[in-house]
């Protein structure tokens, strides 16, 4: 039976074909490994290639210098191969693996991770609420109004502010970012 026009599979084929040659090889291998990891997985197009079974399991995206494989319940996964990218402030529930060469993609490791993610979905396990720690130098600058607005922001937006401040390499840069953060919060900006 032919695929319907603009089916998820066609969109993913087009997406992969439009990627850089190095990324095409990685995406094709990831796609094959994911689909073979568990027969219950469904291939879909959401914000790009995504794979579901009782919820989103994983997805991948091609970028200029790497392909990112995202596990949507990655925070709950064990990561025995230490594949997940270390982040200054990790996302609430997702974790990702970055590949810059198809040789880095271990079918065995990816299969294991996909199967663990499928099992988490099937079990209905949810990520526990994650708390962000406001840096002391930001906390002292927050008045009642800016603190209230900051606390009303989503986890992701609060994390963006904190990551922006924490990623400053020089003390002068951090001071400037702290001042700008207070200005933006007073103006009710959701993110830097």
Q: Report pLDDT for 155.
A: 82
Check whether residue 106 and residue 181 sit in a common domain. Answer: no
Q: Report pLDDT for 87.
A: 80
Rounded-to-integer distance, Cα 42 and Cα 113, Å: 16
How many structural domains comprise the chain? Answer: 2
Q: Report pLDDT for 2.
A: 57
Q: Report pLDDT for 178.
A: 94
Q: Report pLDDT for 191.
A: 78
In a domain, 13, yes or no: yes
Check whether residue 146 and residue 52 sit in a common domain. Answer: no
Domain range for 56: 8-123
Check whether residue 155 and residue 75 sit in a common domain. Answer: no
Residues of the chain with pLDDT under 50: none
Q: Report pLDDT for 192.
A: 81
Check whether residue 106 and residue 174 sit in a common domain. Answer: no
Q: Report pLDDT for 130.
A: 67
How far from 142 is each of 123, 150, 179, CA to CA, in Å?
41, 9, 10
Angle CA(112)–CA(16)–CA(61) in degrees, nearest 5? 55
In a domain, 72, yes or no: yes
Q: Report pLDDT for 92.
A: 74
Global model pTM greater than 0.75: no
Nearest to 14 by CA among 41, 48, 46, 42: 48
Check whether residue 54 and residue 142 sit in a common domain. Answer: no
Q: What count of other Cβ atoms lies within 10 Å of the Cβ of residue 103?
A: 10
């Amino acid at each position: 039976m032919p695929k319907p026009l603009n089916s998820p599979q066609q969109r993913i084929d087009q997406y992969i074909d439009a990627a850089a040659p190095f990324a095409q090889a990685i995406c094709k291998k990831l796609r094959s490994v994911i689909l073979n990891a568990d027969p219950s997985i469904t291939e879909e197009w959401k914000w790009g290639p995504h794979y579901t079974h009782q919820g989103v399991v994983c997805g991948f995206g091609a970028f200029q210098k790497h392909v990112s494989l995202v596990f949507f319940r990655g925070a709950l996964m064990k990561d025995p191969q230490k594949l997940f990218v270390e982040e200054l402030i990790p996302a609430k529930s997702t974790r990702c693996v970055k590949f810059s060469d198809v040789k880095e993609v271990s079918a065995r490791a990816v299969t294991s991770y996909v199967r663990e993610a499928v099992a988490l979905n099937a079990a209905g396990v949810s990520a526990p609420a994650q708390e962000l720690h406001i840096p002391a130098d930001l906390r002292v600058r927050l008045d009642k109004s800016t603190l209230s607005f900051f606390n009303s922001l989503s986890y992701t937006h609060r994390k963006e502010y904190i990551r922006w401040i924490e990623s400053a390499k020089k003390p002068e840069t951090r001071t400037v970012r702290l001042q700008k953060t207070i200005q933006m919060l007073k103006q009710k900006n959701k993110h830097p």
